[in-house]
């Protein structure tokens, strides 16, 4: 398998980036849900949000890299058995997934930086608060973050169901290609 995409299959880099971000998105949704219900006296009360913020910023970097990689690689051609409606739905769905990913990550950043403090990423580096002190920034960003996170996870589940339908019902190569099989 090659690192780069070809005109018929995804390369190892795109595949690893796809499955890594799928894992992180579902994991972060679970972590976020669990974290907001934590009691002040729990030993995770501070650690869980630090973990959530650190992973979120790393996912933002990975997503930017992923888009850059997409830009400099050929895109595997659409399968001939996919009609125009399937192509349109897949294309729109993929861009909406990217859009929601950025929306969730940026709104999360705006919650954390509302009070002007930067975000420490696992003690490795600090990300400055570029935007802070907007009226009700924390509250509004928090609400937007929750709505977008739900939308992202629901769309990702629909996207996964569509991939499974292609694999088990239509028996085409859509899902196989995301594992590097032609």
Q: Which residues bind ligand HEM (CB under 6 A)?
A: 18, 21-22, 25-26, 70, 90, 94, 97-98, 101, 156, 159-160, 163-164, 174-175, 177-178
Q: Are 60 and 109 in contact (CB under 8 A)?
A: yes
Q: Please, which residue, 11 or 114, has the CB nearer to ligand HEM?
A: 11
Q: Smaller CB distance to ligand HEM: residue 92 or 160?
A: 160
CB crowding 103-133: b at 16 or more within 10 Å, else e? bbbbbbbbbbbbeeeebebeeeeebebeebe
Taking the C-alpha atoms of residue 38 and residue 31, their distance in angstroms, rounded to an integer, is 11
As a whole number of angstroms, the distance between CA 2 and CA 160 comes to: 24
Could you tell me the smallest distance in angstroms from the CB atom of residue 30 to ligand HEM? Answer: 12
Beta carbons within 10 angstroms of residue 173's beta carbon: 17
Kindly calculate the radius of gyration of the chain based on its CA atoms and give it in whole angstroms. Answer: 19
How far is Cα of residue 120 from the mean position of the Cα atoms in its chain? 20
Our CB check for ligand HEM shows the closer of 114 and 178 to be 178
Q: Are 78 and 87 in contact (CB under 8 A)?
A: yes
Pick between residue 53 and residue 166 the one whose CB is nearest to ligand HEM: 166
Instruction: Name the minimum Å distance from CB 169 to ligand HEM.
Output: 14
Q: How far is the CB of 43 from ligand HEM (least distance, A)?
A: 29
Q: Which is nearer to ligand HEM, 22 or 127 (CB)?
A: 22
Nearest distance in Å: CB 113, ligand HEM: 24
Confirm if 118 and 53 have CB atoms less than 8 A apart.
Answer: no
Residue 21 Cβ, how far from ligand HEM at the closest point, in Å? 6
């Amino acid at each position: 398998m090659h690192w780069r995409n070809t005109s018929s299959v995804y390369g190892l880099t795109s595949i690893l980036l796809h499955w890594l971000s799928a894992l992180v998105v579902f994991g972060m949704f679970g972590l976020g849900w669990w974290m907001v219900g934590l009691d002040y006296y729990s030993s995770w009360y501070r650690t869980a949000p630090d973990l959530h913020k650190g992973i979120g910023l790393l996912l933002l970097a990975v997503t930017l890299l992923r888009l850059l990689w997409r830009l400099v690689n050929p895109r595997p051609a659409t399968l001939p058995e996919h009609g125009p409606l399937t192509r349109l739905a897949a294309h729109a769905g993929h861009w909406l997934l990217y859009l929601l990913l950025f929306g969730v990550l940026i709104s999360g950043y705006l919650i954390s930086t509302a009070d002007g403090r930067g975000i420490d990423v696992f003690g490795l580096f600090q990300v400055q608060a570029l935007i802070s002190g907007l009226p009700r920034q924390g509250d509004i960003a928090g609400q937007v973050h929750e709505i977008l996170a739900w939308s992202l996870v629901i769309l990702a589940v629909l996207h996964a169901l569509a991939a499974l339908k292609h694999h088990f019902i239509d028996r085409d190569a859509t899902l196989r290609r995301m594992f590097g099989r032609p």
